[in-house]
């Protein structure tokens, strides 16, 4: 079965850039791309007791605007080099973005989501846009790739995968990372920063490291053990020195990992994304 990729859009420049990134990342892969726009009606929220119904003027105006935006996106895609391996579908729906994404995943059997980090209305001061945060925190059924604004596509050749080895790994969640790495002959750089300053892993951390190595067997990977520095500084220096093209985070719902953006590791990194983020979920 072909890869099924969901592309949420608000018709912003960042959303279009993320669409182009997805087409390039999966350039050699037969794909069905589902371009999703969730529209709202001014003055109404989904929590209102009374919401506009199909046929009502406000609803139809918003729906038409959504469908016209999706058609413009399809027209823009026609200006790009044609790829016979790619097919495009559009979804226009009255819903919140996160609920629309959830419904699309369930009904279209989506494998992965690719979206921008910010939308039309997002402040430059915000690292992540509200919709991106909601999807990364609430959607657990499949992984998410978040593409920074103005990021120019390059095939991922060096992927940074920071981990503290505190919790175990699952073949299914790591499988998405391995798939992308194999598609582009990329090296997976597993980065552990030694917070204990003794250069040693405890028994649990050693067991989890061994499990990860077993899962990664057959891929090009390297384990890195960085001396104790501030985590944010260490990982950002690593990304710069290795010219990494992607960074991967595990979004844990158990243990002390609440979600990717409340994840202590992400908070300590203070990560202002310069390269795409691959967020993996444990279902």
Q: How many domains does the chain have?
A: 2
Burial environment of residue 97 by CB neighbours within 10 A (0 to 12, 13 to 18, 19 or more) = buried
Does residue 173 share a domain with residue 68? no
Does residue 23 share a domain with residue 97? yes
- Residue 41 scores a pLDDT above 80: no
Q: Which of 101, 120, 147 corresponds to the end of one domain? A: 147
The domain in which residue 254 lies consists of 158-281
Domain assignment of residue 153, yes or no: no
- Residue 232 scores a pLDDT above 80: no
- Residue 211 scores a pLDDT above 50: yes
Share of the chain above pLDDT 70, in %: 79
Q: Which of 99, 115, 147 corresponds to the end of one domain? A: 147
Least confident of 24-28, 142-146, 270-274: 270-274
CATH number at residue 191: 3.40.50.620
Does residue 170 share a domain with residue 122? no
Q: Which residue has the higher pLDDT, 202 or 43?
A: 202
Domain assignment of residue 257, yes or no: yes
Please, are residues 144 and 18 in contact by the beta-carbon 8 Å criterion? no
pLDDT per residue over 51-110, tens digit each? Answer: 666 767 778 888 999 999 999 999 999 999 999 999 999 999 998 888 999 999 999 999
Does residue 16 share a domain with residue 88? yes
CA distance 272 to 239: 12
Q: Average pLDDT of 206-219? A: 95
pLDDT per residue over 88-98, tens digit each? Answer: 999 999 988 88
Which positions ≥6 away from 215 have C-beta within 8 Å?
169, 171, 174, 178
Q: Is the pTM of this model over 0.75?
A: yes
Does residue 110 share a domain with residue 15? yes
Does residue 175 share a domain with residue 96? no
Q: Which of 147, 174, 197 corresponds to the end of one domain? A: 147
């Amino acid at each position: 079965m072909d890869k099924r990729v969901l592309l949420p859009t608000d018709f912003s420049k960042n959303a279009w850039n993320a669409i182009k990134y997805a087409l390039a990342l999966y350039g050699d892969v037969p794909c069905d791309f589902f371009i999703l726009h969730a529209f709202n009606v001014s003055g109404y929220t989904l929590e209102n007791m009374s919401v506009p119904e199909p046929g009502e003027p406000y609803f139809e105006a918003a729906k038409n605007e959504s469908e016209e935006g999706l058609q413009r996106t399809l027209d823009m895609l026609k200006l790009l080099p044609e790829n016979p391996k790619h097919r495009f579908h559009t979804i226009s729906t009255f819903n919140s973005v996160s609920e629309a994404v959830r419904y699309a995943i369930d009904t279209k059997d989506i494998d992965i989501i690719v979206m921008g980090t910010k939308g039309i209305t997002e402040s430059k001061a915000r690292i992540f846009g509200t919709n991106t945060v909601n999807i990364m925190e609430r959607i657990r059924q499949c992984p998410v790739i978040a593409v920074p604004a103005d990021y120019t596509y390059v095939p991922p050749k060096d992927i940074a995968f920071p981990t503290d080895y505190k919790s175990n790994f699952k073949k299914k969640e790591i499988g998405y990372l391995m798939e992308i790495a194999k598609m582009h002959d990329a090296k997976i750089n597993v980065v552990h920063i030694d917070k204990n300053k003794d250069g040693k892993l405890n028994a649990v951390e050693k067991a989890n490291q061994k499990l990860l190595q077993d899962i990664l067997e057959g891929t090009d990977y390297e384990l890195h053990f960085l001396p104790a520095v501030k985590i944010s500084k260490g990982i950002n220096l690593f990304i710069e020195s290795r010219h990494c093209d992607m960074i991967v985070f595990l979004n844990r719902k158990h243990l002390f990992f609440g979600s990717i953006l409340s994840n202590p590791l992400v908070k300590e990194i203070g990560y202002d994304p310069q390269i795409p983020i691959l967020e993996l979920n444990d279902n």
